[in-house]
Structure 1
Amino acid sequence: MTHHGIPPFSKGHGTGNDFVLVADADGAAPLSAETVRSLADRRFGVGGDGVIRAVRAGSTGDEVLDAAPTGTWAMDYWNADGSLSEMCGNGVRVFVRFLTESGLVDLPDGAAIDIATRDGLKRVVRRGDLLSVDIGPFELGGTRLVATDGLEVDRPGLDVATGNPHVVVALASEAELAGLDLHRAPALEPVAEHGANVEFVVPGAIADGVGAIRMRVHERGVGETLSCGTGAVAAALATRHWSGDAADRWIVDVPGGRLEVDIDERGHAWLTGPAEIVFRGETLSPAP
């Protein structure tokens, strides 16, 4: 039996950024904020940083997602607090892994699939055991002051738009990064109108055109997560900007693992990393 019409689910993650995924090809079981919060709850539900519904464009009930070409798989992505999100770089890779392991699509090595998101179509390419997603063009913005627990002095953060709004803050050392307490959302001045993910970054060395950084992130609507795909891209782009565009490939180490960010000749950012489905199950009706 299922709970509140929720079909059988899968649990997946990309470098520890975890999601509950359900297949609803015909749009018969739309999500609600209450259902999402219930599923994402780590003590009373399945647990996850977000919930993703796989549905065909034209059947989602979402004007933006339904604008995609007919038959395209759409990623109906919700944050753990029940709010909608434009995009999720780890989520879209896990979404494609879910589609392939569920037998809904076939994606041979080197092949690509376009996925509808609230930030438009995203192309995902299989590269062996890894998946790469074209995050698309990006935009560097202005500076905000960022205050958070564990930092004695407010730090400047750079606005970076990668489908989601981000603010990236450079730190001086790994000790400073480890000393952050990200249980509460960092305070931004000026305040971001629609909220923002905040990434804290320690830049490393650049060698042979490849840069390295370490990162922690507080995601809006979620809290601190082990990884954030669009956040890793934002962190790499900000560090690239600060370095004078010294590298077009970046290795981003997050608490949940390692991601790669590449800037192609069109100025698009690509995110590459693992995506795994770790278990499947079903929600049970509550006891009478």
Structure 2
Amino acid sequence: MQFLKVHGAGNDFILLPDLQDAHPLTSGVVRALCRPHLGLGADGVIRVAPPRKHVHADVFMDYWNADGEVAEMCGNGVRCVAKYLADRDPAGGDVVTVDTRAGVKTVHVSRDAHGRVERARVDMGPPLVGKVDEPLEVDGDTVRITTLSMGNPHAVLMVDDVASVPLADIGAGIGGHEAFPEGSNVEVVQIMDRRTLRGRIWERGVGETMASGTGAAAMAVAAAVLGMAERQVTATLPGGDLDIDWTDATLWVTGPAVEVATGNLDETWLTSIR
């Protein structure tokens, strides 16, 4: 079975082309693939399959987090899916539609001088804002969070210095809080200026990641609704920058999409973990 190792701003994935829909994933396979040292190591697995609910889309993104749980959406992952398709069909145009569990995402790709996709711009759809600057008691301390959905749940915490935040503890405390029965992704955000945010992301089912497309979008929305930033910002994350443009109609995330390697999974190993 073929695989690709891909990443968007350091948020890395194992991409499995399965356009015949012949290789459904299991939690055990996903966990084994994502495990460092003993597997390939990644934040998640993306199976590229035929479209499901939205049959007019080009493909379905079957996305799983590293813990073996299905996830609704992945902003960096959908850019990597678009790159995979557009690089292999350069005559097919520069717009890719991807069916996800959070609806169809339209992706506009940008190519380098050799025709390879290097960046992509994703129409994420409008955010659904929940509670704004809401107090939440976590492990005896009170923090103030803004909650919203980008097709998946987010809780955003504004801080003075992202580097000093014990994100493993805060992320687990907020993300696993009873206020979020299904769990939540957690972002900590430092305002650099009204058009620049610095952030770190704790991803549900993964832990801290170098970037997240939906997480960067959540950071931007929270900063805007709190009056701390404009609706068009750059989110600087450990893995690189993502550009966010929140319009009246939708929200766009623009960032890199990189293919690192291709290969084939050993069938004996794959059979042993199924």
TM-score (norm 2): 0.88
Measure how far apart 1:153 and its partner are.
Answer: 4.5
1:68 to 37, 50, 54: 54
Q: Answer yes or no: is the 8 Å Cα contact 1:144–1:159 preserved in 2.
A: no
CA distance in structure 2 between the aligned counterparts of 1:278 and 1:165, rounded to whole angstroms: 29
What secondary structure is seen at the aligned counterpart in 1 of 2:130? strand
Q: Answer yes or no: is the 8 Å Cα contact 2:83–2:109 preserved in 1.
A: no
Q: Answer yes or no: is the 8 Å Cα contact 1:147–1:153 preserved in 2.
A: yes
Q: Answer yes or no: is the 8 Å Cα contact 1:144–1:190 preserved in 2.
A: no
Higher helix share: 2
Which position in structure 2 is the counterpart of 1:60? none
Which position in structure 2 is the counterpart of 1:182? 167
2:70 to 72, 75, 84: 84
Q: Answer yes or no: is the 8 Å Cα contact 1:88–1:228 preserved in 2.
A: yes
2:232 to 231, 249, 262: 249
User: Please, which moves more after superposition, 12-21 or 188-197?
Assistant: 188-197
Which position in structure 2 is the counterpart of 1:202? 190
1:19 aligns with 2:13: yes
Q: Answer yes or no: is the 8 Å Cα contact 1:236–1:252 preserved in 2.
A: yes
1:145 aligns with 2:136: yes
Q: Answer yes or no: is the 8 Å Cα contact 1:252–1:259 preserved in 2.
A: yes
Measure how far apart 1:82 and its partner are.
Answer: 0.6
5 Å matches for 1:106-255? Answer: 106-108=91-93, 111-128=94-111, 129-142=118-131, 143-145=134-136, 147=138, 153-172=141-160, 174=161, 177-184=162-169, 185-188=171-174, 190-206=178-194, 211-243=195-227, 247-255=230-238
Measure how far apart 1:100 and its partner are.
Answer: 2.6
Q: Give the count of matched residue pairs.
A: 259
| Residue identity opposite 1:73 in structure 2 | V
CA distance in structure 2 between the aligned counterparts of 1:71 and 1:231, rounded to whole angstroms: 24
Residue 21 and residue 49 in structure 1: after superposition, are their counterparts in 2 closer, same or farther (change >3 A)? same
CA distance in structure 2 between the aligned counterparts of 1:221 and 1:144, rounded to whole angstroms: 24
| Residue identity opposite 1:179 in structure 2 | S
| Residue identity opposite 1:74 in structure 2 | F
Q: Answer yes or no: is the 8 Å Cα contact 1:145–1:190 preserved in 2.
A: no
CA distance in structure 2 between the aligned counterparts of 1:146 and 1:122, rounded to whole angstroms: 35
What secondary structure is seen at the aligned counterpart in 2 of 1:186? helix
Percent identity for Structure 1 against Structure 2: 36
What secondary structure is seen at the aligned counterpart in 1 of 2:6? strand
TM-score (norm 1): 0.84
Residue 146 and residue 258 in structure 1: after superposition, are their counterparts in 2 closer, same or farther (change >3 A)? farther
Residue 107 and residue 247 in structure 1: after superposition, are their counterparts in 2 closer, same or farther (change >3 A)? farther
- Residues 97-138 of structure 1 show CA distances to partners (whole Å, capped at 9, x for unaligned) of 12233x257454xx3221100001000011343100011011
Give the gaps of 5 or more residues in structure 1: 1-6, 58-65
Q: Answer yes or no: is the 8 Å Cα contact 1:144–1:158 preserved in 2.
A: no
| Residue identity opposite 1:113 in structure 2 | V
Residue 144 and residue 17 in structure 1: after superposition, are their counterparts in 2 closer, same or farther (change >3 A)? farther
What secondary structure is seen at the aligned counterpart in 2 of 1:239? helix
What secondary structure is seen at the aligned counterpart in 2 of 1:38? helix
Which position in structure 2 is the counterpart of 1:62? none
1:262 aligns with 2:250: no
Residue 71 and residue 170 in structure 1: after superposition, are their counterparts in 2 closer, same or farther (change >3 A)? closer
CA distance in structure 2 between the aligned counterparts of 1:254 and 1:67, rounded to whole angstroms: 33
